[in-house]
A and B are shown apart, each in its own frame.
Chain A
Amino acid sequence: MDRPAPTPDGPPGSIADVAAGLEREFAELGDWDARIARVLALGRALPALDPAFRTEDHKVKGCQSQVWLRVDHDPRSGRLRLAADSDALLMRGLLAVVLRLYDDRGPGEILAHPADVLDRLAVSQSLAPNRANGLHLVIKRIHAAALDAPGGHLSAEGGTYDAAQPR
């Protein structure tokens, strides 16, 4: 499936706005059954990752399910584009939430935002307490890519970066 075209200004609102919106959205769903159904629906709606990127390099190891994450730095916008997939629908739903938070954001904004909203959704809202570890590993990979991207603070090189590439 084609990746969404980069938006000139990035997604509306800050990551914190999106996080607050997500928390509201899930809190309003009331009971656990409705919340887990929403996560599974998000998982069904998540575009599949191009099978060419379902490689060992892109695999986030340590997760209960297989998880693949692709991170590209868009040199024109300076933002990171994310794509992710899993063989488990529940994990795809959680990855959709991660992408909603962090896709098409600048490295600085990504690094400045604490990922605790994911813990609140996964653990406190009891959506998938045993997936919190896996989500942390995904966030770690995204942060590593943000650090390496121009505007992160280590590297100043241009071009496309891929967090999954061994360095």
Chain B
Amino acid sequence: MTPLSPDERQWYSRQMALPEIGEAGQARIKAARVLVIGAGGLGSPLLMYLAGAGVGTIGIADFDCVETSNLHRQILHGVDRLDMLKTESAARTLAGLNPHVTVRRHDGPVNADTADRVVAGYTIVADGSDNFPTRDAVHAACLRARIPLVSAGAQMTSGTLTTHKAYEGPPHPCFRCLYPEAPAAGLAPSCAEIGVLGPAVGALGALQATEVLREILGIGPGLSGTLMMYDAWSCDLQAVALPCRTGCPACGGIPQPPVTGGNRPTSSVADSTCVPST
């Protein structure tokens, strides 16, 4: 781990003053490599807080360009960035926030063909994308590469947040335990057609950034197995147990190391019944 420079110690002094962080925690944050999928409504506060916190390497994946209908919620971007690739605009904003972080751009869509290549080398992935195929592909790639995935989704004035580490086996649920069926094309409205409240998405993005920092620092049990549900109009945040789904084809087939103890080693999870973790 690269030690902190005197400049960095000064830069992060208010953050390092937190007992859970300190110099050791700050060094861990600096050593972390976090990939953010989507430089939009969730990705904006997420990327800005991660850069501010001093995450050493930050990846940004997006395929779209900035347009005026983004600006009420995508605070990474501004009127001087219209029609610019969001990755480029985001990289500029982050560079302006904190020169100590390295930003890597991944221009283009993340899908089943590209996800493995994009997530490779990152220690944590945070998904703030707005469509099912991307989320599914990112999750599958993280599962294969054994990378924790902090996943948030927002619609209109509410949203959800959880962490997936299904590579650790049950009771850690995967994305497909939560969404067994892909929505039929055309059924799932994208942000293009439905309303969305900027600060509601922003709150979820900020919560997501906090979860990424908790994962880096190992603070608390994390959100694997817990689905947080936020509603802006009622200012309500609820934790719901997210069970591993028995027979889930996405994570049920992951070979687990034999569990010793008891009478027999268990080498397969195919017949195990997942219990909800809290």
Contact = CB atoms under 8 A, between A and B. Distances in A.
Interface string B70-111: 000000000000110100000000000000000000011101
Contact of A62 (B65, B83, B111, B192): B192
B257 to A, nearest CB: 37
Contacts of B186: 133
B268 interface: no
B69 A129 contact: no
B68 A87 contact: yes
B64 interface: yes
Given A126-B63, A130-B64, A64 B192 contact: yes
Contact of A64 (B63, B69, B85, B109): B69
B113 to A, nearest CB: 9
Size bracket, chain B contacts: 20 to 34
A82 to B, nearest CB: 22
Contact of B108 (A32, A62, A88, A90): A32
Interface residues of A, number: 18
Nearest to A35: B108
A65 B67 contact: yes
A3 to B, nearest CB: 24
Given A64-B69, A88-B67, A89-B65, A126 B190 contact: no
B192 A133 contact: yes
B181 interface: no
A58 B186 CA distance: 24
A34 B25 CA distance: 41
B108 A65 contact: no
Given A33-B107, A64-B192, A130-B131, 12 more contacts: A36-B107, A36-B108, A64-B190, A64-B191, A88-B67, A88-B83, A126-B108, A126-B109, A126-B111, A129-B131, A130-B130, A130-B192
